[in-house]
Structure 1
Amino acid sequence: MGKQKKGTKQNRFRTILKALKMELREHRSSFLVYFVLRILVIVMLVLQILNRNYENAFLCILTLILLIMPSLVQVTFKIELPSALEITILIFIFAAEILGEIQEFYLAFPFWDTVLHTLNGFLAAAIGFSMVDLLNRSDRLKFELSPLFMAIVAFCFSMTIGVVWEFFEFGMDQILGFDMQKDTVIQTIRSVSLHPEGRNSVVVLDGIRSVTVNGQELGLGGYLDIGLIDTMKDLIVNFIGAVVFSCIGFVYVKNRGKGRLVRGFVPSRKKAERDFLRIAQETEAQTKVRTQARKEEWTEVRTEEKTAGERVENRMENRMENREENGGKTE
């Protein structure tokens, strides 16, 4: 029973791999981008292992897995991602993990994190919009939403993803001691906590140029904000990306698919001839049938050979018996 389950899982895994290979090669443009990025990540992985930087090596392995996810989603959920959306997702993953984390673009280019969060808001809104749009066009579900409501859902979905990500960054910083919520140097503090009489009145400290902590000068040229401004900037640019796509999506649904820009970012249901998982399953089933037929043919041949051999043996035995009987009569 255990071997049978193991064999079934192996067959399932083999079928998904075949479907993934077909999916990856469906669009030349996205496959080319995937292939180039994968080569770059593998080269980076080798370099990180040689440098014994195993944390970055883990990020490279994670990136390789993430690069397959768009194709895996298409195969599993039977949806078609437009090439523009798929390429954008692949570049986003590479820019965030390899360039941002390993190559330290987050530090070298202050705008890098802002650009990625804006793009994240745009993509998350596209995904949320697509989910509702697919339900709207489903034949199985009686589900129909107005263009305005679809835009609102897309916006809310994008903002939820952005907030959850900030929760994740905060958790990683607090629990594991990371610094995902980047700090900001500021020269002005406004706080009621600084009021000498403890009253609810804002006290402003302006023109801060130096800060000393435990007798040590930080040398940053100002006060160090611990992640709040970075978090709010991320949410603001996420908001901008979400609003932009929600507005474009609203116009797209209103005109039902006439907008080229949105069409390049809105997934659709796969057609039967592009359902590679089904094709792979059918191919696997046909292969099993052929294999079974060959086994049966081979079994029949072996049976016939065995039967023929038994007949020959019987004939030989009969001849020997006849000879013995004839010899006995002669005597």
Structure 2
Amino acid sequence: MIHFLWKISFWTHIIRISLIIAMLWSIFEGNWAILFVIILTFLFTYIHLVFKKYDIIIPQVFQFIIIFFIYSSLFLGDINEFYYLFPWWDIVLHSFSGIALGFIGFLIPYTFYKIREFKAPPIMIVLFGFCFAVTLGTLWEITEFILDSFFNLNMQKARDLVDINGIINSREGVKDTMNDLVLDTLGAFFASVFGYFYLVGGEKSFIYKKLIEIFEKSNNYFEHKKEKFFNK
């Protein structure tokens, strides 16, 4: 397990180093729009510190998943044109992110449910996770629109839409956004279904059981809140 976590930490640092190199290259080239996106990506690699402030420790596995998605989307996908080199890149990213966000959204109410700070039927817990994932997916599309508008990027595939007949296909940008939202929604739905069966099935769902075990073992939040609850 220690060796596995060391590998995750190693690749996280590799990602950060590659971003620092890209920053220096962007400064050398004078490409300030790209520099801003790279800095934004780099800052996202430390997003777990925000949760740590509230005594919620995101396990290294989940940290790496979040970092890798943002890195793959902003840095590899758009700046290094992986979206064009590999047509399946966007589909895989949004399908996977929908499932991951659905699970993270499930963990938020589940945390309070587990420590008995509130009671809620399983359907409401998974519904929160589903809405959380879809909302973040929507906010991501808004982020893409803002970056495209102010930094001349093409994350929504809405530029250079003239086809071989010289006709502008104005629906391509809309189709890209809607395809992303549909994939986010489907991923969130599947994550919610697994979460529901985990709650009503006596925690017999193998996938969720293993993921939540990783979360709980990496987190002192549960034990701290349980002690506070039972000592009232």
Give the TM-score normalised by the residue count of structure 2.
0.77
Go from structure 1 to structure 2 and tell me whether the alpha carbon gap of 1:230 and 1:184 turns closer, same or farther (over 3 Å shift): farther
Q: Shift of the alpha carbon at 1:92?
A: 0.8
In structure 2, what residue type is equivalent to 1:144? Answer: K
1:231 aligns with 2:177: yes
Matched, 1:52 2:30: yes
* Count of residue pairs brought into register by the alignment: 215
The whole-number CA distance in structure 2 between the counterparts of 1:169 and 1:97 is 9
Q: Encode CA deviations 1:273-296: one digit per residue, 9 max, x unaligned.
A: x99xxxxxxxxxxxxxxxxxxxxx
Greater strand share, structure number: 1
Q: Give yes or no for contact 1:85–1:265 (8 Å, CA) kept in 2.
A: no
Equivalent position of 1:327 in the other structure = none
Post-superposition Cα deviations, 1:65-92, rounded to whole Å, max 9, x if no partner, equal 111112x034212123233322211211
1:195-206 → structure 2 map (5 Å cutoff): none
Q: Could you tell me how far apart the structure 2 residues matched to 1:82 and 1:248 are? A: 20
Larger radius of gyration: 1
Check the 8 A contact 2:8/2:64 in 1, yes or no. yes
Q: Assess, with a 3 A threshold, how the Cα gap between structure 1 residues 74 and 29 changes in structure 2: closer, same or farther.
A: farther
Measure, in 2, the Cα distance between the counterparts of 1:234 and 1:146. 30
Q: Unpaired segments of 5 or more residues in structure 1?
A: 1-26, 187-207, 211-216, 276-331
Runs (5+) with no aligned partner, structure 2: 225-232
Contact 1:184 1:224 in 2 (8 A): no
- The one-letter amino acid of 1:158's match is A
In 2, Cα distance between the equivalents of 1:149 and 1:91?
A: 30
How far apart are the structure 1 equivalents of 2:120 and 2:147? Answer: 38
Check whether the contact 2:33–2:151 (CA below 8 A) recurs between aligned residues. no
Q: Report if aligned partners of 1:125, 1:154 keep a CA contact under 8 Å in 2.
A: yes
Select the residue among 1, 5, 8 that pairs with 1:30.
8
TM-score normalised per structure 1 = 0.56
Tell whether 2:127 aligns with 1:157.
no
- In the other structure, the counterpart of 2:228 is none
**Counterpart residue identity of residue 94, structure 2:** H
Distance verdict in 2 for CA 1:209–1:180, change over 3 Å: closer
**1:259-285 CA deviation, whole Å, 9 max, x = no partner?**
45324544448328x99xxxxxxxxxx
